[in-house]
Amino acid sequence: MAERGKFISFEGGEGAGKSTQARLLRTSLEERSRAVLLTREPGGSPGAEEIRKLLVEGATDRWTPLAETLLFLAARADHVARVIEPALAAGTWVISDRFSDSTFVYQGLARGLGMDAVRTLQRAALGDFAPDLTLVLDVSPRAGLERAVARGAHENRFEQFDAAFHHRLRDGFLSIAAEEPQRCAVLDGTASAESVAANVWRTVVERLAP
């Protein structure tokens, strides 16, 4: 039986550079002859990609915080059961652009559902399934939003929330990382992509010995 793969998530606010870093990390791991699956949330399985459209497009008040959370968890349950878990079991390393911490921070804190409610729902949907390593890319909300807006995607529902919302996101990711230092590492996301990638790689080597 193959040795189980490792599960790495990237987290951060809008425009933190997660997608770029996730791709660069995939390349570095492949250079070490690891089989790698790069995926994202919401999405990553056909059903979850359908749900993604409901969540990231449209008006900010399209969903109540509770309904929104349940949709994220429905997408995640499908993604984990059909894509992530089988890949890990086959020995593939999985990199996800966002995972559970985004739900704690966006829905629990910034949207105001509460951390306890998210914890209860998350446990019901996923049990204690969690990443082996979470890399939080930290940028100021202003710098991140400038990058996100420049990207010009139509998937901008969460970008439209006010500045206070985006400050809550940053504080939320930093406090989760402080509470779970074993699993999380915070990296400065404002440096050049190459230098952030070097930090990402150093952290992965230290923590997971790929």
39 versus 92: smaller Cβ distance to ligand TMP? 39
Q: How many CB atoms lie within 10 A of CB 155?
A: 13
Contact 38, 23 (CB under 8 A): yes
21 versus 107: smaller Cβ distance to ligand TMP? 107
Separation of CA 178 from chain center: 17
Contact 97, 15 (CB under 8 A): no
Does 158 engage in binding with ligand TMP (CB under 6 A)?
Answer: yes
- The span of 59-67, 84-92, 100-108, 178-186 binding ligand TMP (CB under 6 A) equals 100-108
Contact 73, 83 (CB under 8 A): no
106 versus 173: smaller Cβ distance to ligand TMP? 106
Distance CA 66, CA 51 (A): 15
Does 108 engage in binding with ligand TMP (CB under 6 A)?
Answer: no
Does 166 engage in binding with ligand TMP (CB under 6 A)?
Answer: no
CA distances from 120 to 37, 132, 175 (A): 28, 21, 19
Nearest to 193 by CA among 27, 20, 28: 20
Does 72 engage in binding with ligand TMP (CB under 6 A)?
Answer: yes
Q: Binding residue for ligand TMP (CB under 6 A) from 103, 122, 172, 177?
A: 103
- The span of 36-44, 123-131, 134-142, 170-178 binding ligand TMP (CB under 6 A) equals 36-44
Element (H, E) at 188: strand 184-188
Q: Binding residue for ligand TMP (CB under 6 A) from 6, 41, 185, 186?
A: 41
26 versus 34: smaller Cβ distance to ligand TMP? 26
Distance CA 199, CA 92 (A): 22
Q: What token pair was written down for 72?
A: 């994220």
Does 93 engage in binding with ligand TMP (CB under 6 A)?
Answer: no
**Contact positions toward ligand TMP, by CB under 6 A?**
14, 40-42, 56, 72, 98, 102-103, 106-107, 158
